Structure 1
Amino acid sequence: MVKESQEQLEQEHLDKILKLIRQKERALDKSIDSAQSEAQNLNAHFFDDVKLDYDGYSTSMDTALSIHQQQQMLQERQNAWQHDTKQLSTLQRLEQKPYFARVDFKEKGEDKPETIYIGLGSFANNEDHFLIYDWRAPISSIYYDGKLGEVSYNAPDGEQTVEMTKKRQFLIEDGKIVNMFDTNEQIGDQMLLNVLNEKSSIQMKSIVTTIQREQNKIIRNTDADLLFVQGSAGSGKTSAIMQRVAYLLYRYRGNLNSSQVIMFSPNQLFNDYIKNVLPEMGEQNMVQMTYWQFASRRVPGMNVETLFEQFEDDHEDKDIVKLKDSLQFFNAITHYAKHLEKKGMLFKNIYFKSKDKPFYSKDKVKEIYYSFNENYHLRNRIEATKEALLNSLSHRVEPETKKAWVSKTIESLDQEELNKLYDHPDQEFESSAKEEHFLAKKIVIKQLKQVSRKINQNRFLNIRGQYLAFLRAVPKLIDLSKWNISQQQWEDHLERVKHRFIERRIKMADISAYLYLYDLVTGRRTDYEMRYAFIDEIQDYTPFQLAYLKYNFPRAKFTMLGDLNQAIFTKDESRTLLGQISKLFDSEKTEVVQLTKSYRSTKELTEFTKQILRQGEKIEAFDRQGPLPVFYKRDNLEKEYHALESILSENAEQDLTTAIITKTLAEAQAVARALKEQKVKATLIGSANQRLVPGTLVMPSYLAKGLEFDAVIAWEVSEDNYHSIDETQLLYTITSRAMYKLDLLYTGEKSELLDNLDPKTYRNK
């Protein structure tokens, strides 16, 4: 009975809030219409109210002031319109679900508790009294962090302590309270279960209503220069990071905008998956890209090894790749570049009109480059060399006018082209010789612009040759024997890199080093504007790449998150990754957060998948029930496909979104073809640039990073397909994408990597 009356009171409160929200929406609609029509009216009659007078200084000053006043009025109307539009969009979101929590608390010295409601945005009445608090407001933190009793939060004027007396959670649908419950804990399991039991979609949802205490610590951390989040699959680390971006944009509003936040994600599919999370919270999306995009856009003339090539082509010498991925290699380039201030820089000829004789020979450029004293460092040297070359270019104009190509060009011009060269029509000259000289000079200056462009673009530097020269110097800078690399292996490798350069190809293991050397040599300025950098799936990055990103964004605070159990590309190196990264940051300003509870999957799935790991980090299952994973052993491929079809129809009956995850792209293509022949509807996701679509998906393992599905079918988990110990993490990644149902198919023998599973945690069919 008490609960009923409480629910009734809460429903009355909700009705009152919704009524006020709708009133405010109507008022804003009117205000927006009025501001728009005023702006249009001002625009249409802009000069009607402007005093235009150009007779003297004082009157033209009046004219300028008059125009300025009109512009100011127009700007004010537009600002008012933009502000109201933003407010209206917040209210429209709140009208769907005004709030999800209520907190009662007493401040020190107060007798009566204060009540606040928490939602996705703020809403105040006409007296500026807050009826709903934004989940990111300092006071809202107590909802996520504390149990009933004394609890502290960080307010703008320092830490505040209050006594929390009530913590209530709501599920609201279409203006009605569907469920509500009081809890003493953090976010109640009931609330989480309701959200987690919703079907998955092709877009990630916001988790604002179910942020857990440990996730809240990540979201609101403003002190760390490096926040390293190690979280097991499905622990909500990516969701927490998206809320962290929203929190930072709210906290530093006015000083931070979304263009000063960058996120590196595992692939384009993932970008597509998370693109709605921030807009749902009323924030603009940050800059988002993959590391491949970040690197390859800098070298448009070369083909950088793609995610597909990196995964499918594993022929490169592992020890050499390990060296190139290391911080020692990064430091070796830094050291090598300093040595280039004294000698060893390589240059290219600059040509103009003739490929036989350089306009500026590489020897001449080298002479200029090393003519400056030792106070000139790399950036100063390159700038001074460019200046000297451009200065010299102006002295080359006159001699060039006497060359045969110039007179030939003049003769070939028609009258219209000639007219364009004169300063003005009817231009007169003392003699035809002077006229010809005038035209010759104009033509030479115009043509020499291509030389000045080459100079300004550093086209006199031989960067590919320089990178190869650095690789030749590596044995003097690094003891290769400590990396199990012989001199001969290194020389053979160098030839392969050189051959790839001729074909305009470059490996991922080389691109970061190549760009870093280019940046040091050219003195390219780093990005001082970027304030926060987020790196997801950190286990697939190398220490070199992370050092290079830190070099690129020197003022940014970094948040790195990942699951060291899921390293697909770096494999064994992921174990030492944190140790190597921490060398790049001040240890006092580094924080490591461990998320061990997996919320994505049912208890049955989490208990199953964590057994696959050899030295897995501790993973706790959340108590959500579902079916046991099922193994399907079949005698041949035809029977395996029959099993696949029956699983898909079973999943369709239960309305589950399904991903069939294969090891390689070739397997995914074969499965998609076979399903098409059987008229079974499925979409092949064969490239990171594709869009995620509803329905059954077929994809290779390396494109499934960060995604989740109601049901996963792990294809061909046989010994033939998965036999190497370093494929353990790959199997873990595939199976841990499933939220509710997991089926594993194979022919022949099951992979030995799945031998240590407790028979109670799965079924055979």
Structure 2
Amino acid sequence: MSEDVQSAYQEEQNKLVSVLGEIGNQLARLRAVPVYTGHDFTEQVLEAGREERRQRLAKSEPEPYFGRMDFEEDGRSVPAPLYIGKTGLDGPDRGSLPIVIDWRAPVASLFYSFTGGEERIEYEAPEGLIGGTVHLKRNIMVRKSELERVVDTYTRGGEEPAVSDEFLLYRLGENKDNRLRDIVSTIQAEQDKIIRAEKNKALIIQGVAGSGKTTVALHRLAFLLYQYQEQVSAEKMIIFAPNGMFLDYISGVLPELGVGDIQQRTFTDWAAKLLGLESMLADPAETLDFWFGEAGGTAPGDDAPGRFKGSDRFRAMLDAAASALEASGAPELAFEAWEGKTLPYETILHWYADEYKHYSAAGRKERVLARIHRWIEMELKNVKPETLRKEHKKKAAAREKAYAKKWPDFSPLTLYKQIFGAAKDPRGVLPQEAFESIPASVLKATRKDLKDGRIREEDLPPLLYLHLLLNGIEGAERFDHIVIDEAQDFSPLQVWVLDRFVRGHSFTILGDLSQGIHAYKGVHAWEEMSDLFGGDETSYHALTRSYRSTMEIIGFANVILSGGVANAIEAVPVFRSGDKVRMIDFGSADGAAGVRAAARALRTLWNREHKTVSLLTRTQEQAEALHAALRPEFPEINLIDGSMTQYEGGLSVLPLHLSKGLEFDAVVIADAGTSNYGSSEWDAKMLYVGCTRALHELWVLHGGEVPSFLDCSGEWSETGWPEA
């Protein structure tokens, strides 16, 4: 260790002792205050504040900060050392400078945006732009209150160039467990720009595999809660993720950032509950089995059910249907409560069409019927004697009930059934000619589903759209911010509907078109989403640098993209080298040979002390078969399917489409031969997804011939089993 490095390490060791001492003192003072358990509201608020500080201090004690920046503000004569941490630490006295600055604070942005150079820099603070010069940028690793690493990434006037990647590569080289981690200490400049973007815009983020887009989105939520704490609340934010297992995988990031109570759901679960249709949902595995099994190699077109039902042309049909139903809402007849007492149709129509026109169709119906009921009550007061009033009241109640049944049912499901011919349109008001362009296969399959009392995932966006058109939206149902992960799998209609549920177009929409393996329902270009918003209501960001995998794995995956996907966005790896990708031909496509090869690969990789190793198959059926065959040798191996809500880590076997968004120390592709994968863009994207799950090692097994885009002899791979 050089003298300069030793001096820096000792300086930081002394600082850590001082900071830990202050944390201990503040904790001791707070813990000395008796916990208030009474009913006085003011005291309850004070106690809540004390408890929040107790928890924050206890959480920061093992790792109070991760970075230091010496910044000389304009007008000052000496630089001030600023320590950056996950949470801020106030000084011991009121009015004293903070000891540790919260990473979300404006001045902390310098730590992420500054990448070297001696020019003057600026950051935006509430009081305006503040400029100055950076003298030192230092990464510091503290674990369990012990100083482990000190890396100077910039020293003003120093002869050595900035080494900003050294600390990043050290963190990336660590093995991962079964949870996604925060990246506060290693946020890169392009990621920080997204995290700190203004709230009221729809951010569309195209991020290559391993670019950290999911983690960036989670950190953005934490930033928004800090920056706009008077305008947003955690309870009014929601993350839409692809499945329950992925939600479990990311579940630790927000609590680690000190953020709780943000809703985390799948779109299917959220929409089905809002519509009250949970019991009608078909098993999503049926759809996946078709597209990833029987239909393997056939790229879906715009007439695929999900693509069509999520399109603008279908939305126009829904608009026409809802408008026709709403326009004909009031039955064309007067209401006669009893003989001689009639409410004219013109009066009822005036109420419906004019006085309540600002309400939804269902709301207008409800208010008109309530007003008719009040009219009956008022007229009954004028009826005498009492015996006649009772007679009229009984007759009016029966006629009121019968009259209400003549109004249309403004239920989204009822109208949806009528559109597809699964239920009659009793009043004949729907413009059937508008629905003639529904693809015949979609019409036939959907009609059968609806008659059988079954709806599929692709039916939820149009049903939710009809719900908005017919019933409106309650203020309590609106969100302050929505995150859509794996957004390439969402349809334009899904996003259009969700925009009605969020204030100010406040979205973080993230995905990767190169991982669009659910092309039967998702978008093929980001313009399909950006066109939903005005030009000043959205911004597009591209994250092209991959931090997950080694250079060899990313290079190999890029070969798949360049050879199999037109206009693909290739990843740029960080300079982290590892083993070459191993291509292994197990010589036969029969099941026994594949099982033996998979077992040998798992055994070798697991013995290398990886924490997470996954075996990826084309279909769920293949995963189940391999799991059963491998269990005698690997009793601890986990089988993952779409119903699971937890990822346990360790050894696992799962279909490739469920691995999206996850990452593993080592990955084995079970059989990448032409018996499983054709040469379409869709097949290339699927294998790209599987390969880019690997952090450190990737083995690709195959029983003979492989697709044309899978290079077995390139610079990034080698063939055959490793030497014993």
**TM-score, L = length of structure 1:** 0.79
Does the aligned pair in 2 maintain the 1:301–1:504 contact within 8 Å? no
Which residue does the alignment assign to 1:705? 660
Distance apart, 1:601 and its partner CA: 0.3
Which residue does the alignment assign to 2:308? 323
Within a 5 Å distance, the mapping from 1:448-467 to structure 2 comes to 460-461=409-410, 463-467=412-416
Distance apart, 1:475 and its partner CA: 7.2
Does the aligned pair in 1 maintain the 2:304–2:520 contact within 8 Å? no
Instruction: Tell me, in whole angstroms, the C-alpha distance in 2 between the residues paired with 1:324 and 1:107.
Output: 56
Which residue does the alignment assign to 2:189? 213
| 2:557 is the alignment partner of 1:589 | no
Instruction: Tell me, in whole angstroms, the C-alpha distance in 2 between the residues paired with 1:470 and 1:367.
Output: 29
Within a 5 Å distance, the mapping from 1:61-76 to structure 2 comes to 74-76=40-42
Instruction: Tell me, in whole angstroms, the C-alpha distance in 2 between the residues paired with 1:373 and 1:282.
Output: 50
Which residue does the alignment assign to 2:57? 91
Which residue does the alignment assign to 1:78? 44
* Compared CA separation, residues 280 and 380, structure 1 to 2 (3 A): closer
Instruction: Tell me, in whole angstroms, the C-alpha distance in 1 between the residues paired with 2:223 and 2:166.
Output: 25
Which residue does the alignment assign to 2:73? 107
Range that drifts further, 679-688 or 199-208: 679-688
Does the aligned pair in 2 maintain the 1:526–1:551 contact within 8 Å? no
Does the aligned pair in 1 maintain the 2:152–2:163 contact within 8 Å? no
- Paired residue for 1:745, among 670, 678, 701? 701
**Structure 2 SS opposite 1:182:** strand
Range that drifts further, 677-686 or 203-212: 677-686
Instruction: Tell me, in whole angstroms, the C-alpha distance in 2 between the residues paired with 1:763 and 1:369.
Output: 80
| 2:210 is the alignment partner of 1:234 | yes
What one-letter code is carried by the residue in structure 1 that aligns with 2:31?
A: D
| 2:556 is the alignment partner of 1:608 | yes
Range that drifts further, 14-23 or 293-302: 293-302
Within a 5 Å distance, the mapping from 1:262-277 to structure 2 comes to 262-277=238-253
Distance apart, 1:759 and its partner CA: 5.5
**Structure 2 SS opposite 1:329:** helix
Which residue does the alignment assign to 1:686? 641
**Structure 1 SS opposite 2:504:** coil
Does the aligned pair in 2 maintain the 1:101–1:119 contact within 8 Å? yes
The one-character-per-residue Cα deviations of 1:579-601 (angstroms, maximum 9, x if unpaired) are 12122212123211111111000
Does the aligned pair in 2 maintain the 1:719–1:752 contact within 8 Å? no
What one-letter code is carried by the residue in structure 1 that aligns with 2:110?
A: I
Does the aligned pair in 2 maintain the 1:369–1:381 contact within 8 Å? no
Which residue does the alignment assign to 1:719? 674
- Paired residue for 1:633, among 573, 585, 592? 585
**Structure 2 SS opposite 1:248:** helix
| 2:66 is the alignment partner of 1:25 | no
- Paired residue for 1:4, among 6, 13, 21? 6
**Structure 2 SS opposite 1:379:** coil
- Paired residue for 1:120, among 58, 67, 86? 86
Distance apart, 1:645 and its partner CA: 1.6
Within a 5 Å distance, the mapping from 1:151-550 to structure 2 comes to 151-184=121-154, 188-222=164-198, 225-297=201-273, 298-300=275-277, 302-314=279-291, 319=303, 321=305, 322-343=307-328, 372=351, 374-375=353-354, 377=357, 379=359, 381-390=361-370, 460-461=409-410, 463-471=412-420, 476-477=433-434, 480=437, 489-490=439-440, 493-525=442-474, 529-550=478-499
Instruction: Tell me, in whole angstroms, the C-alpha distance in 2 between the residues paired with 1:534 and 1:207.
Output: 18
What one-letter code is carried by the residue in structure 2 that aligns with 1:683?
A: N
The one-character-per-residue Cα deviations of 1:451-473 (angstroms, maximum 9, x if unpaired) are 89x989x9944644422444576
Does the aligned pair in 1 maintain the 2:330–2:352 contact within 8 Å? no
Range that drifts further, 629-638 or 276-285: 629-638
Which residue does the alignment assign to 1:575? 524
Does the aligned pair in 1 maintain the 2:410–2:470 contact within 8 Å? no
**Structure 2 SS opposite 1:517:** helix
Instruction: Tell me, in whole angstroms, the C-alpha distance in 1 between the residues paired with 2:227 and 2:168.
Output: 26
Q: What is the root-mean-square deviation of aligned Cα atoms in Å?
A: 3.5
Does the aligned pair in 1 maintain the 2:549–2:695 contact within 8 Å? yes
| 2:676 is the alignment partner of 1:696 | no
Does the aligned pair in 1 maintain the 2:357–2:364 contact within 8 Å? no
Range that drifts further, 382-391 or 585-594: 382-391
What one-letter code is carried by the residue in structure 1 that aligns with 2:326?
A: E
Instruction: Tell me, in whole angstroms, the C-alpha distance in 2 between the residues paired with 1:291 and 1:186.
Output: 44
Instruction: Tell me, in whole angstroms, the C-alpha distance in 2 between the residues paired with 1:571 and 1:673.
Output: 30
The one-character-per-residue Cα deviations of 1:427-461 (angstroms, maximum 9, x if unpaired) are xxxxxx99xx99xx9xx99x99xx89x989x9944
Which residue does the alignment assign to 1:677? 632
Does the aligned pair in 1 maintain the 2:240–2:265 contact within 8 Å? yes
Instruction: Tell me, in whole angstroms, the C-alpha distance in 2 between the residues paired with 1:469 and 1:369.
Output: 26
**Structure 2 SS opposite 1:712:** strand
* Compared CA separation, residues 84 and 475, structure 1 to 2 (3 A): same
Instruction: Tell me, in whole angstroms, the C-alpha distance in 2 between the residues paired with 1:160 and 1:88.
Output: 33
Does the aligned pair in 1 maintain the 2:352–2:364 contact within 8 Å? no
Which residue does the alignment assign to 1:52? none
* Compared CA separation, residues 4 and 522, structure 1 to 2 (3 A): closer
**Structure 2 SS opposite 1:506:** coil
**Structure 1 SS opposite 2:702:** strand
Distance apart, 1:251 and its partner CA: 1.1
* Compared CA separation, residues 132 and 477, structure 1 to 2 (3 A): same
Does the aligned pair in 1 maintain the 2:237–2:482 contact within 8 Å? yes
**Structure 1 SS opposite 2:523:** helix
Does the aligned pair in 2 maintain the 1:390–1:455 contact within 8 Å? no
The one-character-per-residue Cα deviations of 1:309-363 (angstroms, maximum 9, x if unpaired) are 332224798525333221232233234423333338999xxxxxxxxxxxxxxxx
Does the aligned pair in 2 maintain the 1:608–1:762 contact within 8 Å? no
| 2:113 is the alignment partner of 1:145 | yes
**Structure 2 SS opposite 1:81:** helix
* Compared CA separation, residues 501 and 192, structure 1 to 2 (3 A): same
Q: Which has the larger radius of gyration?
A: 1
Distance apart, 1:210 and its partner CA: 0.2
**TM-score, L = length of structure 2:** 0.84
Instruction: Tell me, in whole angstroms, the C-alpha distance in 1 between the residues paired with 2:64 and 2:52.
Output: 16
**Structure 1 SS opposite 2:77:** coil
**Structure 2 SS opposite 1:667:** helix
Range that drifts further, 84-93 or 230-239: 84-93
Which residue does the alignment assign to 1:353? none
Instruction: Tell me, in whole angstroms, the C-alpha distance in 1 between the residues paired with 2:711 and 2:16.
Output: 55
What one-letter code is carried by the residue in structure 2 that aligns with 1:176?
A: E
**Structure 2 SS opposite 1:745:** strand
Instruction: Tell me, in whole angstroms, the C-alpha distance in 2 between the residues paired with 1:168 and 1:20.
Output: 22
* Compared CA separation, residues 622 and 572, structure 1 to 2 (3 A): farther
What one-letter code is carried by the residue in structure 1 that aligns with 2:16?
A: L
**Structure 2 SS opposite 1:686:** coil
Which residue does the alignment assign to 1:59? none
The one-character-per-residue Cα deviations of 1:411-442 (angstroms, maximum 9, x if unpaired) are xxxxxxxxxxxxxxxxxxxxxx99xx99xx9x
Does the aligned pair in 2 maintain the 1:533–1:559 contact within 8 Å? yes
The one-character-per-residue Cα deviations of 1:716-754 (angstroms, maximum 9, x if unpaired) are 211011115122111111111110111112224223342
**Structure 2 SS opposite 1:18:** helix
Distance apart, 1:474 and its partner CA: 7.5
Overall identity of the aligned pairs, in %: 27
Count, aligned residues: 660
Instruction: Tell me, in whole angstroms, the C-alpha distance in 1 between the residues paired with 2:579 and 2:317.
Output: 53
Does the aligned pair in 2 maintain the 1:205–1:277 contact within 8 Å? yes
The one-character-per-residue Cα deviations of 1:263-286 (angstroms, maximum 9, x if unpaired) are 111111111011111111111141
Does the aligned pair in 2 maintain the 1:565–1:729 contact within 8 Å? yes
* Compared CA separation, residues 512 and 90, structure 1 to 2 (3 A): same
